[in-house]
Amino acid sequence: MTPAALTHYLRHNIPLAAAMDVAVTEAGVDGVVLEAPLLPNINVHGTFFGGSAATLCLLAGWSALFLRLQAEGAEVDLVIQRTEMDYLAPVSGPASAAAAIDEEHWPGFLATLSRRGRARITVHARLLSNAVIAGRLVGDFVAIAKAPSAP
């Protein structure tokens, strides 16, 4: 899926992505990078709102896993189970979030998904501003195999 196609998908299926003006700049099985401007995400201090920062990272993690599962041909529902965000520095301009799947845990995740019809994996995302890491998100995502369609 191209960055433009993933941007379209996110904005049409997750309304908050459209409200935040999220754009995908890199998209592939090796990971994703999403960007969002300051203005629709600004807080009372004139910096990036923490909720928007966490959402941008969450969307990056979800997107990285979504693309990887799509490449595997897996038909799943993908949901977030838990997140934790650490804020390291204020963001006073546009922000980006980068996420990739940990290769070490991928085979076990796929095996569990195949065997049990559901599996959990932890995804890490970084919040970046002016090439500085401004935050880190750790999220546990659950993939649930879709039931086969009736003929």
Query: Is 6's pLDDT higher than 70?
Result: yes
Q: Cα dihedral angle (96, 88, 141, 43), rounded to 10 degrees? A: -60
3-state secondary structure of 77: strand
With contact defined as beta carbons under 8 Å apart, do 57 and 131 qualify? no
Q: Which pLDDT does position 85 carry in this prediction? A: 98
Q: Which pLDDT does position 73 carry in this prediction? A: 93
Q: Which pLDDT does position 147 carry in this prediction? A: 78
Q: Which pLDDT does position 119 carry in this prediction? A: 98
Strands (E), the chain: 23-28, 31-36, 76-87, 95-100, 118-129, 132-145
pLDDT digits (tens, 9 = 90+) for 17-43: 999 999 999 999 999 999 999 999 999
| Token pair 């979030």: residue | 97
Look up residue 57 and give its two tokens. 């990272």
How much is the pTM?
0.94
CB proximity list for 116: less than 8 A, separation 6 or greater: none
Stretch 140-149: mean pLDDT, rounded? 88
CB proximity list for 109: less than 8 A, separation 6 or greater: 119, 120, 121, 143
Query: Is 66's pLDDT higher than 80?
Result: yes
Q: Which fold has domain 3-145?
A: Thiol Ester Dehydrase; Chain A (3.10.129)
Query: Is 150's pLDDT higher than 90?
Result: no
Query: Is 149's pLDDT higher than 90?
Result: no
pLDDT digits (tens, 9 = 90+) for 68-119: 999 999 999 999 999 999 999 999 999 999 999 999 999 999 999 999 999 9
